[in-house]
Structure 1
Amino acid sequence: MRVLLVASFGGHWVQLQRLAAMLEVDEQVFVSTAEAQHGGASYYLDDFSVRELWRGVRQLPRAIGIVRRIWPDLIISTGAAPGLLVLFAGFLLGKKTLWVDSIANCRRLSLSGRVAKLFASQVLTQWPKLASGRVRYLGRLL
């Protein structure tokens, strides 16, 4: 199984690395934001927020290209907006996608997590009280 793992630099990247260490798969390929170029990712996107969607729209062809090149069995993101963009590219290409909302979001899902609910194959929260509808709780990464 080939898994494409995507996260912005910082806390999202740390959580993704912890999640990746628990996976037993044949191949892991990482995508991060340009700030993480020293962090071991194979592909990079410019960072942006959901409130700056125009920056993400400009990068959608690149995100689709990454998914096409890797052709993963599963795409996993811990956030933020660049991860959401790659999950959306995977959705457009018929790939299975998993959004894991940050543990920092204890009162409600992040804005990106709420958007991910619209198209991701699965959305996970790290807080039991936030699980409802399409959002599941399976435990914490930290």
Structure 2
Amino acid sequence: MQDGLKVCLVASAGGHLSQLLKIAGAWSGHAVCWITTTDVVRASLGDEGNVHVVGECNRQHPLRVLAVFMRCMRILRKERPDVVISTGAAPGCMAVVLGHLGGAKVIWLDSITNVNRLSLSGRLVRPFADLFLVQWPQLARRYRGVEYVGAVI
């Protein structure tokens, strides 16, 4: 049963997606849409809501970054989520900032691979996150506004 809340889930293929799927219970019962980076992920998600593929990008390829940013903007304008949840990376960062600017609540789960400091994407989105979660307790102690509630993997 859905309660009218729309959740946009954003993760790059690979570990970011695996970590996001580990917390699938968090959006159970809500309408969902996905933003991801490859058609392989789209196929693996099946009927898990609308799945949008924006492509891969990183800071070494600024034109790709711009293209992915524009795709994310169109998707979020169309989907109008109430909540954006992401584990990263670059497309997640973009979707979180755009979602926040569009009035959505934002939840960021930084990758478990970041033991000593927040990810670059995490550092960029931290001011926009309503809830910022890390998977190592020492990171929660090191950064203000960051919470540790356990690891997902």
- Structure 2 gaps of 5+ residues are none
CA RMSD in angstroms, aligned pairs only = 1.8
| Code of the aligned partner of 1:69 | K
Residue aligning to 1:138: 149
Question: Normalising to structure 2: TM-score of the pair?
Answer: 0.83
| Distance in structure 1 (CA, Å) of the matches to 2:145 and 2:118 | 12
Residue 84 and residue 138 in structure 1: after superposition, are their counterparts in 2 closer, same or farther (change >3 A)? Answer: same
| Percent of pairs with identical residues | 37
| Distance in structure 1 (CA, Å) of the matches to 2:16 and 2:9 | 11
Give the alignment partner of residue 41 of structure 2, picking from 31, 36, 40. Answer: 36
Higher CA-based Rg: 2
| Distance in structure 2 (CA, Å) of the matches to 1:116 and 1:129 | 19
| Distance in structure 2 (CA, Å) of the matches to 1:6 and 1:113 | 13
Shift of residue 133, structure 1, vs aligned partner: 0.6
Residue aligning to 1:97: 106
Instruction: Give the length in aligned residue pairs.
Output: 142
| Distance in structure 2 (CA, Å) of the matches to 1:100 and 1:52 | 25
5 Å matches for 1:4-83?
A: 4-34=8-38, 35-40=40-45, 42-83=51-92
| Distance in structure 1 (CA, Å) of the matches to 2:134 and 2:60 | 22
Question: Normalising to structure 1: TM-score of the pair?
Answer: 0.89
